[in-house]
Structure 1
């Protein structure tokens, strides 16, 4: 991305009911920002991205996310929950956003100008607007695809997913260096935006990974890996949304860890009483 612009802070103004509104919730208050309010801020910047949902160069007008969140973030809220219009809910560590002030990738809220709309999304008629969380120099912080939520309707400062939903955590007896522990992080970053696990999570876009059965209980490991990589190569239906994870997004090592996490959680559920090789959980 190429960045041009200045930094500042603004506050919400009265709005009409018909205008798109970005809602930002914190422990202190709830702020509402309309498109004109954001586009008229003195810290609005011009960005161009080539590696986002459009996969070709698109120019954006955008506001630094840190400036919108403010300077008095309660330290217990270590995550920004970004909700999209289609039910996608990304859980973004606040530390990842804060790192933008010290050499890391910088998070912005891109704002679609009605006078200059963005292109339609690939194979769709709608755009990524009116609000899109984008990153300047994402490679500096290893930002992944699920951390670029588009059609955002709200941003909320919350506790980390594992603190909010204890059912996401691997058993305390799991070894510190066990692949399942890393798989837990992979699940939270890449899977939780669309799925829940035993009810834990904020999105219902995809099926729950723990109810009524874990995928390791009803899929072969080869089948599970194939679905994660390219679901349409395994099964298709008209309303299918999942597009899969290439090795550029999910490495083989991370996929191994994710499968280990799901297997560990299935074992811990008590639904795999013996855990022997060849049982449904193995």
Structure 2
């Protein structure tokens, strides 16, 4: 009876918690904290339809605010980090947010009166803040640039400046350099490299072992496409990149080239 009562109380509290959630935005001149109620009440909050949503893998309808409107004074040369409550940390150049090529970033805000469903991939709750895009292909927005469960948006130095130990030498092979660019945009949102990085969702990809050192290329390629091909694990957090739309074969080859390159450049964690 006590357990049932606790469950009922928890169910009653969840909408209140979602409604009272806060998003912290810091562009370096003092942080601004927004609540769900404040964001939903903004004059520029509007209905947005996402035909092919990344988290739910189906059309979704949101109440959302143009992200640019929440980032006054943002410059194209700045770099943004989007930190989720589960340790995911997406790195997105400000120029992608400010682009005028058709793609537009929106902050979707969950209304407790109309809660979102569970994520299609892992059953997670995506709210109360989720970065979604209209016409993402116009700016080549990757699936890792759709962070949900957002807690913080902040302007910080870019990855190269913060973590020089993971940057390939300028004379490195062109495929390695391409792989590093893809790695930053995709893998680095969940993983660290040589202990460097802000993400806390997945394991380090070089210490103590780089995956290229213990997996055949075909197995590693299959694992990146679909982690369940290596181990059947319903609780696995990694969702993979199952189609070439999410990661092209050329980009996958480049990421493997970068991983092989870094396997010979292990360093102590910072």
> TM class by shorter-chain length?
0.7 to 0.9
Deviation at residue 203 of structure 1 after TM alignment? 1.1
More helix by share: 2
**Which residue is 1:48 aligned to?**
49
* 2:51–2:60 contact (8 Å) kept in structure 1: yes
Deviations 1:95-146 (A, max 9, x none): 10010xx233111100011111122222666532100001111121111111
What residue is the counterpart of 1:94 in the other structure?
94
Matches within 5 A, 1:146-157: 146-157=144-155
Contact 2:207 2:266 survives alignment (8 Å): no
List gaps (5 residues or longer) in structure 2: 1-16
CA distance in 1, matches of 2:115, 2:265: 49
Check the 8 A contact 1:27/1:74 in 2, yes or no. no
Equivalent pairs counted in the alignment come to 249
Q: So what's the TM-score if we normalise by structure 1?
A: 0.83
Counterpart among 108, 131, 134 of residue 133 in structure 1: 131
Structure 1 CA distance for aligned equivalents of residues 114 and 222 of structure 2: 40
Please list the CA deviations of residues 145-172 of structure 1 after superposition, one character each: whole Å capped at 9, or x if unmatched. 1100111111111111121111220123
Out of 249, 265, 268, the residue aligned to residue 265 of structure 2 is: 268
Counterpart in 1 of 2:240?
Answer: 244
1:219 maps to which residue? 215
What is the root-mean-square deviation of aligned Cα atoms in Å? 2.0
Q: Say if 1:237 and 1:124 are closer, same or farther in 2 by CA, change over 3 A.
A: closer
| Deviation sequence 1:162-190 (CA, Å, 0-9, x none) | 21111220123314xx1000000110111
What's 1:276 paired with?
Answer: none
DSSP-derived class of the 1:192 partner: helix
CA distance in 1, matches of 2:197, 2:231: 25
SS of 2:264's equivalent in the other structure is helix
Q: CA deviation at 1:237?
A: 3.2
- Structure 1 unaligned residues grouped into runs of 5+: 1-15, 271-282
- Alpha-carbon separation, structure 2, partners of 1:229 and 1:125: 19
Counterparts of 1:22-61 in structure 2 under 5 Å? 22-52=23-53, 53-61=55-63
